[in-house]
Structure 1
Amino acid sequence: MSAAGDDTGSTGGNTPEGDGTHGAEGAREADGTGASPDANVPEGTDVSLSATVPEESRAPEGTSASPDANVPEGTDVSLSATVPEGTRASSDASVPEGTGTTQGADSAEGTRGATKGRRSGGAVLRGAVAGQRGRVAAASVLGSGHQAGEALVPVIIGVVIDLAVATGSPRALALWLAVLGGAFVVLSFSYRFAARIAERGSEQAAHELRLRLTRRVLDPRGGAEHGRLPGALTNIASGDAERVGMAVGLLALGVASIAGLAVSAAALLRISVPLGLLVLLGTPPLLYLAHLVSRPLARRSEGEQERAAQASGTAADLVAGLRVLKGLGAETAASERYRTTSRASLFSALRASRAQAGHDGAVLALTGGFIAAVALAGAVLAMRGEVSIGGLVAAVGLAQFLHGPFRVLAFVNGVFAQARASSQRIAEVLESPWSVPDGSASLPPEPAGELRLDGVRYGSLHGVDARVESGSLVGVVAPDPRAAADLLACLARDADPEEGSVEVDGVDVAKLALEDLRRAVLVAEHDAALFETSLADNVAAAARGPIDRALDAATADEVAEALPDGRRTRLAERGRSLSGGQRQRVALARALAADPPVLVLHDPTTAVDTVTEARVAQRLAALRRGRTTVLVTTSPALLDTADTVLFLDGGTVAAQGSHEDLARTLKTYRETVFA
């Protein structure tokens, strides 16, 4: 047994790590806590979902999201980090209900607050533009200069023909060639800086949207994550924010194209009033028709992004753990889930691509016909002698130039159609209803840390009454994992009780400012994730002081000693470069380093061996002496250090006493703890 954490078994039965049993505590993981802590994703495992399409809404080249894209057998595509409440592995190895394997959660994402999202999606898009109005205005002015210069090139060439070539004047030829060169200098300069400013505005708008989404998701009042898989939120914060940012940057390009059309119309009016009127009167209906053509693209782009988010969420969900599937025997069901999601995402991507192709083709046909009409009208006027040869050359050149602005407007129109769909999805996240409202009451800078539960009814809890005195260490044993999860939700105030109250130092947490509550009470979940930074930075993330004692209490100092660079060793994503037991010990050290007045730990040692667990139990009790600590666990080693143990059975506190007394007198307690 390695001191650094060859963590092999758990209190319930010392089974080897990797056989998927883990005794009683391993069973609890399969029942209620999600992926095993040691669920390492094999390096190089491809879990990306290629049906997530790029910005232009085209199916990815060589997409692997085909209907036959099966998950390789043995790859853990965990059924959900939250295996459903009270669900046991069934003999038919079906995916447990409630794990997010169906599309119901995704449907909830698409429908919950959809009407409100549609109303406010435009506000998100307008707000993104308004936030970059300075850059958009500057890029529009410079872009308009570029388009005006492009439009004037055929006009200047026509003047050269009429005033220099036709008259044979070298001086006039030199003069107008110099003017032509100046026009090229201006349009090149304008384009360069317009593109730079527009790109900066695009990236900044996307960045600010990502920040808004991050603040909303991390808001202590919660709610943004309900009905959405983590991968879906990632997709919204990346793909959708990027699309809206692109639209902001391209707005200047659209304005510049309109300016180019205006200059072209003015030049054509100078050459021939009928030609100018044809452009002026024909452009608005053409733009309106292009807008009508973009509506199917907007609808299909929204569906495409929703399916892409679902696919990303499913992929992230399915690789959350490597042990759960094998424990449930549900590899076949998980493969089918992946295949179904992949097929739906691919189908939506192809529909959006067809809509994009139809939009581009229709707009191209409209603009091509319009340009041909302008060129034909110019030719007829030249044949009648109503315009000069230079005028005809200028008119034909302008007709060819018009193709550019019209193509740009068609492209911008398509991007805005996609951006409207993305902004609606962003709005749905930003306007998600809060899980809990914020309060206004406050606590002193150093709360005493007394907890009281008075008639708490929530989920599987049916009138829980309990008091945890300040500075005490209390164990909570719950045979039903749902009861433990519901208790943790109430203590963390992820949800408010349906009846009753939870109090900290006599203040109802429902009335307490969330900032004060988070400062006073820390609920450390069983499956807490580590970050992609050094071990020391992970532990010190919320530390109030030096981390040495916390590392020692969690025996995470031994983990550091086994790493190549010690505490400075950079961990992989979610700590996957560590074993399950090592990850648990580092996560426990992080919670202990925070040193909150009230610390609630949920199964902090299920993946460590019994010898290490016993040392952790003794050191944890010593470190937390005088600070309120609640251990929601069935570990005998941890419970033996508790001042008192609450036995939560049938949704109420069925018994209370020392671990030794409860083990001696209660059969159900013994079965729960020593099974």
Structure 2
Amino acid sequence: MRTFSDTDHGKPDQRGPWRYLLWMAAGHRRLLLSDCVFNMMWSGGLALTPAVIGQAINTGLVAKDQTALVLWGLAVLGLGIATALSAMLVERLELRLKVEPGYETMRLVTRKACELGTTLDRKSSAGDLVTVGVSDISLIGQTLEVGARGVGGAVGFVVVAVLMLFASWQVGLLVLVAVPVILFITTRLARTLRSRQSHLRAQQRELTDQSVDIVRGLRVLRGIGGEELFADRYRDGSQRLRSVALQQARASALLGAARTFLPSLLLAGVVALAGELVLTERLSAGQMVAFYGFATYLVIPTNQITFAVSKAMQGHVAATNVIRLLRTEPDVGPGPASGAMPGTGVLADPDSGLRVPADGLTAVVCSAGDSAALADRLGRYVESGATYAGRPLAELPLAGVRERILVTTADEHLFAGPLRRELNPTGRPDGSGSDDQLWAAIDAAAARDIVEALPERLDTHVAAGGREFSGGQQQRLRLARALMADPEVLVLSDPTSAVDAHTESRMAEGIAHLRQGRATVVFTTSVLLLHRADHVALVLDGTVAAEGSHESLMADARYRSLVERWTAVA
């Protein structure tokens, strides 16, 4: 099996959708030029065939010259063979042109998504990502694919027009005038189609975002009785999308009708004019047959050109969506390209006054808003003055920061695939060739019962999002994955919020035991976790208001109110 090209063509041109498509075409220029050449051979062979048949009739049948008839017959056979071979190569090349640019676009989008990280959720909607991943990448590939067809169609049209002009200037002039008119009409219709497709894409993104929000909040909606309200809103949005889709379909149908009817009208005109010229003996029988073949053939290049124009308009819409995503910049810079990371030290946030020692379990009691803001600053997901071992995080390579400091939240995703790979994505061995280290992380997260209940244990394939697990089971598996990563600083946000008290006690003990000698920050109001903490900080309005042990802080009414509120809810 032949593999497709995996060449990296560098940074894409993001100055506009046409610029992006031209950059993609330049990156695949050898493939595109080869496809254009064979398309020209195929289209030219088809265009010449009626002329050769006409010559066979005039010099062979009419003149009753058997030798000439055989020679022109062999010429027709040769053109047929050349056309068939070129058509075969066109199919192979067009498949590559359809797949490779789409694959490269997906690679660029995936790379950008990884670069953006958490910024992706803030600056791009789920609808944008779904639209790009599902339809836009294929449309970009199709744009290059049909571009070569358009070139072949243009060459075939020129060949036929020249042959007609030499045989009869009247018919040749009719073709030269009619085809540009057909192209003008279809281009205008294609622009209308592009406008309606852009509107349709916007409606699709909006409805996709709404459906994702409904799925994510379905449990809450059921709890407050809001299912019907949101169902009605989704139904209204779906009907609006249906109306826009119908408008787009009308424009597409009108364009398709024009692509079929106008060339057929030209065919009728050419045949009528050629027939009139035959009756007046200004065209021979062989020329009449050739002109009929030319007129029939003209439907092919005209359709090729108009189809290429319509696909180019669709590719323009798709490229607009792609470059919108590629232009998105992350909230934080990459830091220096190289540089040594400091040794283990204190992780500090000057904005709040929070200091995380290099060893031990630090618990932070605060509101949900303060928790998210602190986690973002400590993990350098936003620009801040946070420091690690006395050096600002902004001055350290971002890759090094990500390796040293791991931030996990309650909505981390579980990916599809073997559970072993999901819990140990880096494949980090423990030196013994066994799973002892992985099982230690699973036990610390109180997740052994989950794994052992699976049919193939660690080798079981799990679904995307871990949807076969309950909320509490997903939370324990996510904690096991974070513990298995074993970073120098692990930041956990409410890691036990979805489990019962008995399981939570085991998880608190496991975290404290497994993370000995490492820094761990837990944002929580759980008494069981607070009892295990070596140090507790109370953060109010974004600032550390008090510090100490859980027992000493219970004397503070502000601290006690937050902890007791959680206890009452639990």
Counterpart CA distance in 2 for 1:272 and 1:442 is 73
Residue of 369, 372, 378 corresponding to 1:485: 372
Partner of 1:496: 383
Residue of 441, 453, 460 corresponding to 1:569: 460
Asked if 1:473 corresponds to 2:361, the answer is yes
1:380 to 1:267, Cα distance in 2 relative to 1, 3 A:
same
1:429 to 1:452, Cα distance in 2 relative to 1, 3 A:
same
Partner of 2:407: 523
Counterpart CA distance in 2 for 1:327 and 1:343 is 27
Residue identity matched to 1:649: L
Counterpart CA distance in 2 for 1:410 and 1:220 is 39
1:357 to 1:569, Cα distance in 2 relative to 1, 3 A:
same
1:483 to 1:274, Cα distance in 2 relative to 1, 3 A:
same
Asked if 1:534 corresponds to 2:430, the answer is no
Partner of 1:585: 476
Counterpart CA distance in 2 for 1:268 and 1:620 is 85
Residue identity matched to 1:146: W
SS in 1 for 2:545: strand
SS in 1 for 2:16: helix
Q: Displacement of 1:301 after TM fit?
A: 1.0
Residue identity matched to 1:525: T
1:441 to 1:207, Cα distance in 2 relative to 1, 3 A:
closer
SS in 1 for 2:517: coil
Counterpart CA distance in 2 for 1:326 and 1:447 is 50
Q: Displacement of 1:512 after TM fit?
A: 2.6
Residue identity matched to 1:651: G
Asked if 1:403 corresponds to 2:403, the answer is no
Counterpart CA distance in 2 for 1:654 and 1:332 is 44
Residue of 139, 158, 161 corresponding to 2:57: 161
Counterpart CA distance in 2 for 1:418 and 1:184 is 34
Partner of 2:537: 646
Partner of 2:9: none
1:179 to 1:442, Cα distance in 2 relative to 1, 3 A:
closer
SS in 1 for 2:317: helix
Partner of 2:563: 670
Counterpart CA distance in 2 for 1:340 and 1:282 is 45
Residue identity matched to 2:418: S
Of 207-216 and 359-368, the range deviating more from structure 2: 359-368
Residue identity matched to 2:353: D
Residue identity matched to 2:539: L
Asked if 1:381 corresponds to 2:277, the answer is yes
Counterpart CA distance in 1 for 2:408 and 2:301 is 58
What's the CA shift string for 1:96-129, capped at 9, x where partnerless? xxxxxxxxxxxxxxxxxxxxx9951112211222
SS in 2 for 1:265: helix
Residue identity matched to 1:541: P
Residue of 510, 513, 531 corresponding to 2:394: 510
Q: Displacement of 1:303 after TM fit?
A: 1.4
Equivalent pair of 1:231/1:315 in contact (CA under 8 Å): no
SS in 2 for 1:432: coil
Q: Displacement of 1:569 after TM fit?
A: 0.6
What's the CA shift string for 1:552-581, capped at 9, x where partnerless? 211223321111001101111111112222
What's the CA shift string for 1:239-293, capped at 9, x where partnerless? 1111111111111111111111122112213322343344345434543343233
SS in 2 for 1:303: helix
SS in 2 for 1:495: coil
Q: Displacement of 1:601 after TM fit?
A: 0.5
Asked if 1:239 corresponds to 2:120, the answer is no
Asked if 1:208 corresponds to 2:104, the answer is yes
Q: Displacement of 1:332 after TM fit?
A: 2.1
SS in 2 for 1:256: helix
Residue of 316, 321, 325 corresponding to 1:425: 321
Counterpart CA distance in 2 for 1:444 and 1:472 is 25
Counterpart CA distance in 2 for 1:321 and 1:203 is 37
Pairs within 5 Å for 1:134-145: 134-145=30-41
Task: Count residues with an aligned counterpart.
Answer: 547
Residue identity matched to 1:652: T
Residue of 197, 205, 215 corresponding to 2:93: 197
Of 262-271 and 308-317, the range deviating more from structure 2: 308-317
What's the CA shift string for 1:640-662, capped at 9, x where partnerless? 11111111223322222211222
SS in 2 for 1:185: helix
Residue identity matched to 1:228: S
Equivalent pair of 1:140/1:253 in contact (CA under 8 Å): yes
Counterpart CA distance in 2 for 1:288 and 1:562 is 67
Counterpart CA distance in 2 for 1:118 and 1:520 is 33
SS in 1 for 2:216: coil
Equivalent pair of 1:451/1:504 in contact (CA under 8 Å): yes
What's the CA shift string for 1:593-617, capped at 9, x where partnerless? 1111111011112222222211111
Equivalent pair of 1:151/1:263 in contact (CA under 8 Å): yes
Pairs within 5 Å for 1:91-240: 120-220=16-116, 223-240=119-136
Equivalent pair of 2:123/2:328 in contact (CA under 8 Å): no
Q: Displacement of 1:373 after TM fit?
A: 3.4
Asked if 1:440 corresponds to 2:332, the answer is no
Equivalent pair of 1:600/1:629 in contact (CA under 8 Å): yes
Q: Displacement of 1:587 after TM fit?
A: 0.8
Pairs within 5 Å for 1:39-58: none
What's the CA shift string for 1:459-488, capped at 9, x where partnerless? xxxxx111111113110112x322212222
Counterpart CA distance in 2 for 1:222 and 1:567 is 29
Residue identity matched to 1:668: S
TM-score when scaled to structure 1? 0.77
1:197 to 1:307, Cα distance in 2 relative to 1, 3 A:
same
Counterpart CA distance in 2 for 1:221 and 1:579 is 26
Of 503-512 and 216-225, the range deviating more from structure 2: 216-225
Q: Displacement of 1:621 after TM fit?
A: 0.8
Equivalent pair of 1:449/1:520 in contact (CA under 8 Å): no
SS in 2 for 1:452: strand
1:469 to 1:423, Cα distance in 2 relative to 1, 3 A:
same
1:434 to 1:619, Cα distance in 2 relative to 1, 3 A:
closer
Q: Displacement of 1:506 after TM fit?
A: 1.7
Asked if 1:342 corresponds to 2:229, the answer is no
SS in 2 for 1:448: coil
Q: Which has the higher helix share?
A: 2
Identity %: 32
Q: Displacement of 1:548 after TM fit?
A: 2.9
Q: Displacement of 1:353 after TM fit?
A: 1.0
Residue identity matched to 1:468: V
Of 367-376 and 299-308, the range deviating more from structure 2: 367-376
Equivalent pair of 1:378/1:395 in contact (CA under 8 Å): yes
Of 333-342 and 238-247, the range deviating more from structure 2: 333-342
Q: Displacement of 1:300 after TM fit?
A: 1.0
Counterpart CA distance in 2 for 1:505 and 1:372 is 83
SS in 2 for 1:474: strand
Of 405-414 and 170-179, the range deviating more from structure 2: 170-179
Partner of 2:3: none
Equivalent pair of 1:236/1:425 in contact (CA under 8 Å): yes
Higher relative contact order (CA 8 A, sep 6+): 1
1:248 to 1:225, Cα distance in 2 relative to 1, 3 A:
farther
SS in 1 for 2:353: strand
Partner of 2:497: 606
Residue identity matched to 2:459: R
Of 565-574 and 263-272, the range deviating more from structure 2: 263-272
Counterpart CA distance in 2 for 1:221 and 1:631 is 22
SS in 2 for 1:541: coil
Q: Displacement of 1:143 after TM fit?
A: 1.5
What's the CA shift string for 1:137-169, capped at 9, x where partnerless? 111111211111211222122112111111223
Counterpart CA distance in 1 for 2:14 and 2:247 is 21
SS in 1 for 2:363: strand
Asked if 1:300 corresponds to 2:181, the answer is no
Counterpart CA distance in 2 for 1:328 and 1:118 is 45
